[in-house]
Amino acid sequence: MAKTKVAIVGASGYAGSELTRLLLSHPAVELVRVTSKSQAGRMVTEVFPHLSGLTELVFQPFDAKKVKEAAEVIFTALPHGRSMVNVPQLYDKEHKVIDLSGDFRLTPELYQAWYKREHIEPDLIEEAVYGLTELARREVSSAGLVANPGCYATCVTLAVAPFISSMVIERDIIADAISGVSGAGRPPTDRNQYCQVEGNVMAYKAGGTHQHIPEIEQSCYGLCQMPVSVSFTPHLGPFPRGILSTSYAKLKEKLSGAELHEMLAAFYQDAPFVTVLPLEDHPQVKLVHGTNFAHLAVALDERSNLLVMMSAIDNLGKGAAGQAIQNMNLMLGLEETAGLLQGAVFP
């Protein structure tokens, strides 16, 4: 069977690097073109020596026409604000686009409120499917343009979805999450340098200002058709990859831990990338390192009648490149798991 040709626009960041790694070993697609403004002209393996021996590709400058000539499916891994400029040049009836930026995830109003800039392609947002795969398998399958979810949003939403959906919890969620350093991107800064991060942990954007909040609230609204308020605090931890989230909501009725666990397991029984851990177990980011898996668990704080919802993903895997490929698989009518069934590299 002929392999589908795919391209990555903006391939020299961490998400682009992970897309490259995964697409190079995908059995049903061929990666034919990668573009990068900053690295154009350099060998991919020169910029990403961890892929040495696996590809002869060279980074190209962005040229929408050439990308569209070369590929049928295009991943855009561009900075927020840049995607809404480039995606309209790429997306059409013959080309499917999976966008990893925040540009097509929110309504124009929410986008302006959280990203502090006006959206220049509000109509295209309407066409985009928000690709949190487990919650939108059908819509993604028939989509031409997918807005791939944010990493924190994926992690938190997967954990709370079964309980918002069944409306057993109050619609006030407190979500605490910690991400590895790759979440902050590839350019060196004061904040991501080794001597600053090592041995350290800190919150940032405390007070509910992170731009993934409206994604979670929007998904929750979709699940229960009522507004849900999320108070979210991200943290930065001393590890390269992974997000762990611990979320809290009051239970509306008395339920046992076993019942809650059962509810979680049932919700994801057909999801090949979601592992529901036994009651009393806790997700660990290291166990999903480099994969598209999500590990979920619940605990019940009976003294406070509070449900604790926990989840772990790889921010570059299920939180970015992995989920993008999972979405591509559905869009192309492939097995949902094609090219993604690797275990974590442990230890």
Which CB, 75 or 104, lies closer to its own copies? Answer: 75
Cα-based distances in Å from 87 to 149, 174, 254? 16, 34, 48
Token pair in block for residue 133: 């795969």
Total residue length of the chain: 347
- Neighbour count for residue 301 (Cβ, 10 Å): 12
- Strand, helix or coil at 153? helix
Which CB, 104 or 273, lies closer to its own copies? Answer: 273
Rounded least distance, CB 120 to its own copies, Å:
27
Rounded least distance, CB 45 to its own copies, Å:
8
Rounded least distance, CB 95 to its own copies, Å:
26
Q: Report the distance separating Cα 317 and Cα 21, nearest Å.
A: 11
Which CB, 55 or 141, lies closer to its own copies? Answer: 55
Q: Report the distance separating Cα 308 and Cα 177, nearest Å.
A: 13
Torsion of CA 51, 133, 320, 171, to 10 degrees: -160
Which CB, 87 or 313, lies closer to its own copies? Answer: 313
Which CB, 190 or 253, lies closer to its own copies? Answer: 190
Rounded least distance, CB 177 to its own copies, Å:
10
- Strand, helix or coil at 245? strand
Rounded least distance, CB 308 to its own copies, Å:
5
Give how far the C-alpha of residue 283 lies from the chain's centroid of Cα atoms, to the nearest Å: 17
Closest CA to 321 of 60, 55, 25: 25
Check 151, 155, 195, 220 and give the catalytic one: 151
151 is catalytic: yes
Closest CA to 9 of 66, 94, 93: 66
Q: Which residues pair with 344 in a beta bridge?
A: none
Q: Report the distance separating Cα 253 and Cα 259, nearest Å.
A: 12
Q: Which residues are catalytic?
A: 151
